[in-house]
Amino acid sequence: MVKISGKFVIIGLIVLTFIANCGRQKIKPSLPAEERMKIAEKMFRDEDYLDAKTEFRIIILNFPGSVISAKAQYMYAECHRELKEYIIAAAEYQKLLRVYPNSEYVDNAQFQIGLCYFKLSPKYSLDQEYTHKAIQEFQRFLEDFPNSELVAEARSYMYKCRAKLARKFYRNAESYRKLTFYNSAIIYYEYVLDNYYDTEFAQKSLVGKANCYQKMGKSDEAIKFYQLYLDKYPKGAGARKVKSELEKIISDNS
């Protein structure tokens, strides 16, 4: 085995440090905004978000109110987003909307605010504060920028948020149903049907509601909602089961 002395290890580290420092570009404090922006953008493209963030911040502070400062503000927020610092990123996008309301980046900034909250949204069983915030911000985006290229994507994210909330209430309903607390279950099923009718859990809630009435011996109500399901979702995933239950109720009551 070849032994390497501590002296050679230290020399090697010094050489590596020297090479790394040579690779970094020294930026003059008096560099014009346009030149500094080019350097900062290259850092961003190279995924050097920490250093890029510093350079964008210098532009913001030294050239307030300018067009290039508006771009720097947007890119500064982008750096935080790339670093997964979503709360800070959302605040910086908000600052762009407030300080540069006529900037070309405002629609992207509003979209990214919604996306930041979407990224912070936890699984359905936990507190959904950020999910609600994401919906609010995406809704604001859709209202303010109806012609943006990001409209379809914003709607997609909104649907995912709504589906997550629907799932939370549907699971609550299912828990009550399994515990035979049918009236409580129906309240949650109805909440899903009233507020999240565009999600997959609306279908499931309609079946669950009908099943609760069936279990409670309220045949007329059960038939009514099973039939409603077949009318609304004739090719739905639960159609076969619903038909079977419907036939069973009618047979038992004939």
Non-local CB neighbours of 8 within 8 Å, separated by 6+ positions = none
What CATH number is attached to the domain comprising 87? 1.25.40.10
pTM: 0.84
For 229-240, give one letter per residue: b (16+ CB within 10 A) or e: bbeebeebebee
Q: Is residue 120 part of a domain?
A: no
Do residues 189 and 206 touch, judged by C-beta distance below 8 A?
Answer: yes
Q: Is residue 91 part of a domain?
A: yes
Q: Is residue 39 part of a domain?
A: yes
The mean pLDDT of 157-169, rounded to a whole number, is 97
Residue 197 token pair: 């009718």
Give the confidence band of 2 by pLDDT, cuts at 50, 70, 90.
Answer: very low
Q: Is residue 57 part of a domain?
A: yes
- Residue with structure tokens 């109720």? 249
Residue 15 token pair: 């050489």
CA dihedral 149, 84, 122, 190 (to 10 degrees): -20
Do residues 166 and 201 touch, judged by C-beta distance below 8 A?
Answer: yes
Angle at 212 between CA 204 and CA 236, to 5 degrees: 25
Non-local CB neighbours of 167 within 8 Å, separated by 6+ positions = 124, 199, 201
Count of domains forming the chain: 1
Q: Is residue 88 part of a domain?
A: yes
For residue range 85-135, list pLDDT tens digits in order: 999 999 999 999 999 999 999 999 999 999 999 999 999 999 999 999 999
Q: Is residue 158 part of a domain?
A: no
Could you tell me where the DSSP H helices lie in 100-238? 106-120, 129-144, 151-178, 182-195, 200-215, 219-232
Q: Is residue 230 part of a domain?
A: no
State the CB neighbour count (10 A cutoff) for residue 28. Answer: 8
What is the extent of the structural domain holding 64?
Answer: 32-104
Angle at 118 between CA 108 and CA 71, to 5 degrees: 25
Q: Is residue 77 part of a domain?
A: yes
For residue range 16-57, list pLDDT tens digits in order: 334 334 444 567 666 888 999 999 999 999 999 999 999 999
51 three-state secondary structure: helix
